[in-house]
């Protein structure tokens, strides 16, 4: 008995075979990403470049599942299995946790973190005129009530009352602070990069300058009878503006912008891999529970995130809601601002304040309980 294939059957068989082959390749690629993230065998910048594609790989796997289900094929199982295999990464993507309650009456500390984009000071100097954004964002931060305020791309200028942020915050209850001092600034004048303000006394403090205005500041903060080390950091930015690629009319312009993006990605992945080591050192050396907050310029599927996550818990994963995207520009579907915390603490709540439009980042706010008495600080 011979089986005759009509042209329609041949076409159907061809596309089914093609999609099945692509599906297998996608599953193998997704397995590679899982391997790179779980075992961290390679910390080269190319590994970081591959890992940022993990959400896309998930999305295409989901599309294959739907495609095979519509075709009533068992082949949907393959992508379904690979998605289920990555269940340990799901909390990094979407969270739905009720607001925690301090049922034990634990001491608490709240952390507000915001990349303020210099309070829009860059638009003041050309015409010496204060923009509406600058007025709004400086008023906004001075009205905060969190125990600790952490800023990235912080700016302070004592000769300009609107930008004399250190003095203004001191008047509203934040007398203790530590700032980053890049070599291009003098004292508390000019762009400081990273700053931390506290309602509670700071027992010890320090700073580490990474590159230009990127860096970290840390402070051992006395919260009642307890002490907590707060680390505020701004890791190397990639300086990517993907919209430039799509607004170029000429093919050469598109090629140039694409090369610029790839170069920025390579530099960013390489620099952040080195910078996170400094954060890890201060975590390991701390005699107190640690909270690390800031602008990490890396996704939840990155090497930097994974290295910190192996030492600390993440407030979004444990107490956040939704996707928690923190970037207020394209690509707006990423979460690069985070709060990591010591297992000796409890995350009661975490939120991304997406109704605050003044910067290219949204602020984040977390509240933590201190579960165990911490080592008494030496006065």
Domain boundary (60, 85, 110) is at: 85
For residue 219, tell me if it sits in a domain.
yes
For residue 285, tell me if it sits in a domain.
yes
For residue 192, tell me if it sits in a domain.
yes
For residue 65, tell me if it sits in a domain.
yes
**Cis peptide bond N-terminal to 331, omega within 30:** yes
| Domain span including residue 29 | 7-85
Query: Is there a single domain that holds both residue 268 and residue 133?
Result: yes
Confidence at residue 11, expressed as pLDDT on a 0 to 100 scale: 84
For residue 377, tell me if it sits in a domain.
no
Query: Is there a single domain that holds both residue 204 and residue 171?
Result: yes
Query: Is there a single domain that holds both residue 203 and residue 348?
Result: yes
Confidence at residue 240, expressed as pLDDT on a 0 to 100 scale: 59
pTM of the shown model: 0.90
Confidence at residue 188, expressed as pLDDT on a 0 to 100 scale: 63
DSSP 267-321: HHHHHHHHHHHHHHHHHHH-SS-EEEEEE--S-TTSHHHHHHHTTSEEHHHHH-E
Query: Is there a single domain that holds both residue 365 and residue 265?
Result: yes
Query: Is there a single domain that holds both residue 73 and residue 112?
Result: no
Nearest to 195 by CA among 216, 211, 175, 212: 216
Q: Give Cα 327 distance to the centre of its chain.
A: 9
For residue 181, tell me if it sits in a domain.
yes
Domain boundary (28, 50, 85) is at: 85
Query: Is there a single domain that holds both residue 166 and residue 296?
Result: yes
Query: Is there a single domain that holds both residue 80 and residue 100?
Result: no
Query: Is there a single domain that holds both residue 35 and residue 112?
Result: no
Confidence at residue 247, expressed as pLDDT on a 0 to 100 scale: 46
Nearest to 167 by CA among 200, 142, 184: 142
Query: Is there a single domain that holds both residue 65 and residue 164?
Result: no
pLDDT tens for each residue of 133-165: 999 999 999 999 999 999 999 999 999 999 999
> Into how many domains does the chain fold?
2
* Rounded Cα distance, 217 and 336, in Å: 18
pLDDT tens for each residue of 72-112: 899 999 999 999 999 999 999 999 877 666 657 789 999 99
Confidence at residue 339, expressed as pLDDT on a 0 to 100 scale: 99
Query: Is there a single domain that holds both residue 151 and residue 248?
Result: yes
Confidence at residue 229, expressed as pLDDT on a 0 to 100 scale: 99
Query: Is there a single domain that holds both residue 103 and residue 77?
Result: no
Confidence at residue 126, expressed as pLDDT on a 0 to 100 scale: 83
Confidence at residue 243, expressed as pLDDT on a 0 to 100 scale: 47
For residue 30, tell me if it sits in a domain.
yes
For residue 1, tell me if it sits in a domain.
no
Confidence at residue 373, expressed as pLDDT on a 0 to 100 scale: 61
CATH number of the domain enclosing 146: 3.60.10.10
Confidence at residue 378, expressed as pLDDT on a 0 to 100 scale: 42
Domain boundary (22, 57, 85) is at: 85
Positions of the chain with pLDDT lower than 70, given as ranges:
1-5, 8, 99-103, 183-189, 239-257, 372-379
| Burial of 8 per CB tally in 10 Å (0-12, 13-18, 19+) | exposed
**Which distant-in-sequence residues (6+ apart) come within 8 Å of 204 by Cβ?**
219, 220
Query: Is there a single domain that holds both residue 241 and residue 311?
Result: yes
């Amino acid at each position: 008995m011979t089986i005759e294939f009509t042209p329609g059957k041949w076409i159907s068989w061809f596309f089914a075979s093609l999609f099945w082959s692509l599906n297998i390749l996608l599953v193998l690629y997704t397995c590679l990403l899982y391997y790179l993230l779980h075992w961290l065998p390679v910390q080269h910048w190319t590994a970081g470049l591959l890992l940022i594609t993990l959400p896309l790989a998930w999305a295409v796997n989901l599309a294959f599942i739907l495609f095979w289900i519509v075709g009533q094929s068992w082949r949907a199982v393959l992508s379904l299995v690979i998605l289920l295999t990555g269940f340990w990464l799901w909390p990094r993507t979407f969270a739905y946790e009720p607001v925690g309650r301090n049922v034990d009456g634990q001491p608490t500390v709240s952390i507000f973190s915001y990349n303020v984009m210099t309070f829009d000071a860059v638009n003041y100097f050309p015409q010496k005129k204060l923009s509406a954004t600058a007025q709004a964002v400086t008023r906004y931060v001075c009205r905060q009530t969190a125990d600790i305020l952490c800023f990235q791309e912080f700016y302070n200028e004592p000769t300009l009352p609107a930008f004399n942020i250190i003095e203004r915050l001191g008047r509203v209850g934040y007398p203790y602070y530590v700032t980053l001092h890049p070599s291009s600034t003098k004292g508390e004048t000019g762009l400081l990069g990273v700053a931390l303000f506290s309602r509670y006394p700071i027992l010890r403090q320090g700073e580490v300058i990474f590159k230009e205005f990127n860096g970290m500041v840390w402070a051992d903060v006395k919260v009642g009878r307890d002490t907590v080390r707060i680390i505020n950091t701004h890791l190397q930015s990639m300086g990517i503006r993907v919209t430039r690629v799509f607004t170029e009319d000429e093919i050469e312009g598109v090629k140039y912008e694409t090369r610029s993006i790839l170069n920025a990605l390579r530099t960013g992945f390489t620099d952040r891999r080195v910078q996170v080591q400094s954060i890890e050192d201060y975590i390991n050396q701390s005699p107190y529970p640690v909270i690390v907050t800031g602008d990490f310029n890396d996704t939840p599927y990155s090497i930097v995130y994974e290295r910190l996550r192996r030492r600390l818990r993440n407030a979004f994963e444990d107490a956040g809601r939704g996707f928690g995207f923190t970037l207020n520009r394209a690509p707006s579907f990423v979460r690069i601002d985070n709060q990591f915390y010591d297992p000796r603490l409890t995350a009661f709540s975490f939120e991304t304040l997406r109704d605050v439009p003044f910067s290219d980042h949204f602020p984040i706010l977390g509240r933590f309980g201190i579960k165990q008495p911490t080592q008494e600080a030496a006065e």
